[in-house]
Structure 1
């Protein structure tokens, strides 16, 4: 469903500088203290003030974004998305707003959108948000930092984080009472076959869960399935998405290009938490 949201809903943001509500007037979000943030032509808004940036272009670069988009478009992580949506259907308030923390190019974001909810995605990488906003116009995207989110307290009924840093205090602040927070992290054998080609002694992922003190664990799932590749471009795109890509030698890249078939495990842990107080 691709609709023009501007006529139906107005995004709810708060000013990253003074925490007052931002109102959209003629393509600019402005607060009562006159801080102003322009809406880009793609529809997103940059709510990352220059003084909050730690580098010129924080987040993933364009090549990484394009590799991830090409890989995800092929459906290799569809079983993960299906598991996430099943949990949302089972537990979520279908009218409450949803937040995708570290949304990337919007692959998971837009598939949570229904006619009854509003869905927000944030990423620190402007290139990524530009792609997401242009492609999925029924969601609200902004450039921002997860450590200081541009949202009011208790704005969301459902938050999820796929591989993004988990900043418990900030996520808990914007989560409604009785709302849910879903984390997706790599399990032991995630991409083990690919790692084994790069490292002499590939280690398994550390799956000890990050301590989340303010929320109650409701459900935990393990999702493991084989990804069968018959196109080397898909494998190279997957490699480009990983933190160990920079360790891959030219010889390994050449070897992967020659391989007609490659099988690699996808292995995830999904943990669903609820804010109960």
Structure 2
């Protein structure tokens, strides 16, 4: 894949277009946002932060980076890449945002897919540590600290929006997608990591069937189930899997101790990939 610079950032304060000027992004009103030496830009105004250090912690990001770089979730990444590239324009660059990009694994896998498509990639996450890790691993994309609730992206500028195990803000996604653009959403299924959850919790609550109405401004296109068994043969991989999920913090000390005692574990990966098309006028 050919990756080109992303050009559709807007000022988080005024909403005016940002333009690259050396090591900064600048808007017509004089606001300037420096590009950190690691290659990312902070576009989350302090008044819109709900905590001093929002999002995933440095330790959680490091665990996710080790686990995903081990290839354990590659079938999910491959399904996402297929969905992104389906019906892609043959001549124009395909602009794609990963909303809640974490340490950038899925955009890197997309960029590594064989093909002649030209991509303009933007990764957004509210965690500074996640965006920093993403930028360190791949400088080709544009990496930004920001919130899904206030995306620093121009209206109707994107062909694809990814929301993978994240927090969808469909109104914002509809705003930034071009008419005919697609939202690709990946959500955990009923059996996702069931064996791990059975170890760390005393009992599992039955989940009610997910009610997933089509978001306003979108039409339903398709869905794909991605399900496979994952055998982890190292305690470090099991620890990283637990650390990159909310279960580490929700489980009791006893549950975490049971997981820490494991030397191997086979878990079910069970997710659903959904595709929604942005309606004209949506």
Tell me, yes or no, whether TM beats 0.5.
yes
* Residue aligned with 1:160, SS: strand
Q: Residue 53 of structure 1: which of 49, 56, 62 is its match?
A: 49
- The alpha-carbon distance between structure 1 residues 248 and 276, as it changes in their structure 2 partners (threshold 3 A), is closer
Residue 108 in 1 paired to residue 120 in 2?
Answer: no
Tell me the residue number matched to 2:128. 126
Q: Deviations over 1:46-105 (max 9, x none)?
A: 001111111111100001101111111111111111111122232333622111000000
For structure 1, which runs of at least 5 residues remain unmatched after alignment? none
Counterpart of 2:223 in structure 1 is 220
Aligned to 1:93: 89
For residues 105 and 14 of structure 1, the distance between their equivalents in structure 2, rounded to whole angstroms, comes to 22
Q: From 29, 33, 42, give the equivalent of 1:33.
A: 29
Match of 1:231 among 231, 234, 246: 234
Matched, 1:13 2:9: yes
- TM-score normalized with structure 1 length: 0.92
The answer for the alignment partner of 2:169 in structure 1 is: 167
2:200–2:259 contact (8 Å) kept in structure 1: no
| Contact 2:6–2:122, Cα closer than 8 Å, also in 1 | no
Relative distance call for 1:200 and 1:249 in structure 2 (3 A) is: closer
Q: Give per-residue Cα distances to partners, 1:176-228, cap 9 Å, x unaligned.
A: 11111110000110011111112222135553325412101110111111111
Task: Count the aligned residue pairs.
Answer: 273
- CA distance in 2 between counterparts of 1:57 and 1:83 reads 32
Separation in 2 of the partners of 1:146 and 1:247? 24
In 1, distance between residues paired with 2:196 and 2:5? 44
1:261 equivalent in alignment to 2:264: yes
For structure 2, the residue ranges without an aligned partner over 5 or more in a row are none
| Higher relative contact order (Cα pairs below 8 Å, separated by 6+ residues) | 2
The reply to whether residue 188 of structure 1 matches residue 190 of structure 2 is yes
Quote the Cα distance in structure 2 between the aligned partners of 1:101 and 1:81: 15
